[in-house]
Amino acid sequence: MLVRTRRSAFTLIELLVVIAIIAILIGLLLPAVQKVREAAARMTCSNNLKQIALAAMNYESTYKYLPPGINLAGGSYLGTLAYILPYIEQDNIYRMIPQGMFILPPGTASGGVWWGGAWTAGNQRIPIYLCPSDDADSVGVSTGVFAYIYTIPGSNTVTGGYFGGANPTIGRTNYASCAGAIGETTDTFYGQWRGAFAPDKRFKITGIVDGTSNTFGFGELLGGNSQTRDFVAAWIGIGAMPTAWDLLTPTQWYTFGSKHTAAVTQFAYVDGSVRSVRPLGASATTWFSPRWYAIQQAGGRQDAAVPDTSQFE
């Protein structure tokens, strides 16, 4: 005797239960995938910073000095990242820049002002200068692209010049060298925390009195407001950035900052080690707080203080 059995189709309730289970699983899986993706991006960013810092050290091994923060008085406005191109395997882009533009005072740079003679080089995309959590080259902005930012020697001022509009061809960056509190100021208070990079100056490693493992060399930046995204920065001209205003939320054009979802900004010390600093979490600087002093001490090259890194956590 043959017996046939018939299986009924899913009922509506069973189908809804299955859909609900799948939705829950996807809801559990997506945050995990996002966390893995961000962890990978953060690791890549950390490696970028490490390679940039080591490139600066290799520059120092060649010339016996660290590269300058920016070529200001020479007139070419080439920033730190332009000087280390041969040491991050970008010698082809380095050779696009007229070599006279690298000359620092007391000589006079030649070959272009505002890196005009290096326009082709400045339009090149350099992956190591981009944090994957942000990728400044793909970011739309409302106001413009900073061609240069620097602290003005002898003053307490930060200035910058920018090209209006999106300027999508300009090669952008998420990293900059560190000027210390406000750079090479003559102010006796803020001058305690002059950084490892400054306009028209090249410091020997022995000039990093606080030690290369205690002094910020490079940090992440967005170049503008991290919420409305008004600016980004061009790698060829961004000079050393100040630390005096801390890591504001949202970031500003004169502060370091990042788009990491873990709410950290990474810094490479002069020796190449990389550590994270949490943002302030406020839109106004908490002047002269323990955290503020720790940030300035990490940014300074000769204050003879070991920064309290517990303030960064």
pLDDT digits (tens, 9 = 90+) for 158-188: 999 999 887 778 999 999 999 999 999 999 9
H helix runs in the chain, sequence order: 12-63, 80-83, 91-94, 119-122, 290-299
Question: How far is Cα 270 from Cα 53, in angstroms, rounded to an integer?
Answer: 6
Residue 113, pLDDT > 70, answer yes
Q: In this predicted structure, what is the pLDDT of residue 249?
A: 94
Closest CA to 302 of 218, 220, 205: 205
Closest CA to 65 of 203, 252, 251: 203
Residue 124, pLDDT > 90, answer yes
pTM of the model: 0.88
Residue 5, pLDDT > 60, answer no
Closest CA to 208 of 223, 197, 222, 218: 197
Collapsing DSSP to helix, strand or coil, 91 comes out as helix
Question: How far is Cα 110 from Cα 108, in angstroms, rounded to an integer?
Answer: 6
- Name the band, by pLDDT with cuts 50, 70 and 90, for residue 115: confident
Residue 111, pLDDT > 90, answer no
Out of 3-7, 11-15, 233-237, which region has the weakest mean confidence (pLDDT)?
3-7
Closest CA to 145 of 19, 231, 216: 231
Out of 13-22, 139-148, 280-289, which region has the weakest mean confidence (pLDDT)?
13-22
**What is the percent of the chain where pLDDT is above 90?**
73
Residue 31, pLDDT > 80, answer no
The one-letter amino acid code at 92 reads N
Residue 39, pLDDT > 80, answer no
Q: In this predicted structure, what is the pLDDT of residue 141?
A: 92
Q: Would you say 276 and 43 are in contact if contact means Cβ atoms under 8 Å apart?
A: no
Q: Which two tokens stand for residue 133?
A: 């959590």
H helix runs in 64-127, sequence order: 80-83, 91-94, 119-122
Residue 66, pLDDT > 90, answer yes
The mean pLDDT of 216-224, rounded to a whole number, is 96
Question: How far is Cα 215 from Cα 96, in angstroms, rounded to an integer?
Answer: 32
Q: Enumerate the domain spans of the chain.
A: 15-312
> What contacts 173, CB < 8 A, 6 or more positions away?
81, 126, 129, 130, 136, 221, 233, 234, 235, 238
Question: How far is Cα 215 from Cα 193, in angstroms, rounded to an integer?
Answer: 10
Q: Which two tokens stand for residue 84?
A: 């280390």
Residue 26, pLDDT > 90, answer no
Q: In this predicted structure, what is the pLDDT of residue 41?
A: 87
What phi-psi label fits residue 40: left (phi over 0), alpha (psi between -120 and 50 degrees) or beta? Answer: alpha
Collapsing DSSP to helix, strand or coil, 116 comes out as helix
- Name the band, by pLDDT with cuts 50, 70 and 90, for residue 37: confident
Mean pLDDT of the residues in the chain: 90
Residue 23, pLDDT > 60, answer yes
> What contacts 156, CB < 8 A, 6 or more positions away?
182, 185, 187, 190
Question: How far is Cα 64 from Cα 151, in angstroms, rounded to an integer?
Answer: 24
The mean pLDDT of 199-210, rounded to a whole number, is 94
Question: How far is Cα 35 from Cα 141, in angstroms, rounded to an integer?
Answer: 26
Out of 27-36, 82-91, 100-109, 227-236, which region has the weakest mean confidence (pLDDT)?
27-36
Alpha-carbon dihedral sign for residues 135, 173, 231, 274: positive
